[in-house]
Amino acid sequence: MSSPSLLSSLPIPITIIIFTIFLIKRLIFTPSTTTTHKNLPPSPQTFPVLGNLHQLGLYPHRTLQRLAQHHGPLMLLHFGSRPVLVASSADAAREIMKTHDVVFSNRPKLNMAHKLLYQARDVSTAPYGEYWRQMRSICVLQLLSPKRVHSFRSVREEETALLTAGTMVMTNAWAIGRDPNLWDQPEEFQPERFLDSEVDFKGNEHFQLIPFGAGRRGCPGIPFAMTSNELVLANLVHKFDWVLPGGAKGDDLDTRECLGLTIHRKVPLLAIARPRLTR
The yes or no reply on residue 71 touching ligand HEM (CB under 6 A) is no
Task: Say how many residues touch ligand HEM, by CB under 6 A.
Answer: 17
Q: Work out the number of other CB atoms within 10 angstroms of the CB of residue 221.
A: 16
Half-sphere exposure of 257 toward its Cβ, with a 13 Å CA cutoff? 12
Q: What residues does 265 pair with on adjacent strands? A: 257
Q: What are phi and psi of 174, to 5 degrees?
A: -60, -45
Per CB under 6 A, which region of 40-48, 66-74, 214-222, 252-260 contacts ligand HEM? 214-222
- Tell me whether residue 10 or residue 95 sits nearer to ligand HEM (CB atom): 95
Binding residues: 219
Per CB under 6 A, which region of 111-119, 162-170, 219-227, 265-273 contacts ligand HEM? 219-227
Per CB under 6 A, which region of 62-70, 181-189, 213-221, 242-250 contacts ligand HEM? 213-221
Which residue in the set 221, 240, 244, 253 belongs to the binding site for ligand HEM (CB under 6 A)? 221
Q: How far is the CB of 176 from ligand HEM (least distance, A)?
A: 12
Quote the CA–CA distance of 95 and 148 in Å, as a whole number.
Answer: 32
Residues 90-149 that bind ligand HEM (CB under 6 A): 123-124, 136, 139, 144
Encoded amino acid at 75, one letter: M
Quote the CA–CA distance of 258 and 238 in Å, as a whole number.
Answer: 30
Q: How far is the CB of 247 from ligand HEM (least distance, A)?
A: 32
In eight-state DSSP terms, residue 242 is E
Quote the CA–CA distance of 38 and 279 in Å, as a whole number.
Answer: 69
Residues 165-184 that bind ligand HEM (CB under 6 A): none
The yes or no reply on residue 224 touching ligand HEM (CB under 6 A) is yes
Q: How far is the CB of 200 from ligand HEM (least distance, A)?
A: 14
Which residue in the set 42, 108, 127, 213 belongs to the binding site for ligand HEM (CB under 6 A)? 213
Q: In 109-190, at which residue ranges do the beta strands (DSSP E only) sit?
A: 168-171
Binding residues for heme: 219
Quote the CA–CA distance of 224 and 186 in Å, as a whole number.
Answer: 28
Per CB under 6 A, which region of 69-77, 216-224, 231-239, 267-275 contacts ligand HEM? 216-224
Q: What is the CA radius of gyration of the chain?
A: 25
Closest CA relative to residue 88, chosen from 146, 148, 44: 44
Quote the CA–CA distance of 84 and 64 in Å, as a whole number.
Answer: 12
Dihedral sign, CA of 105, 106, 112, 117?
positive
For the window 252-271, what string marks contact with ligand HEM as x by the rule CB under 6 A?
Answer: --------------------
- Tell me whether residue 44 or residue 175 sits nearer to ligand HEM (CB atom): 175
Residues that bind ligand HEM (CB under 6 A): 123-124, 136, 139, 144, 211-214, 217-221, 224-225, 229
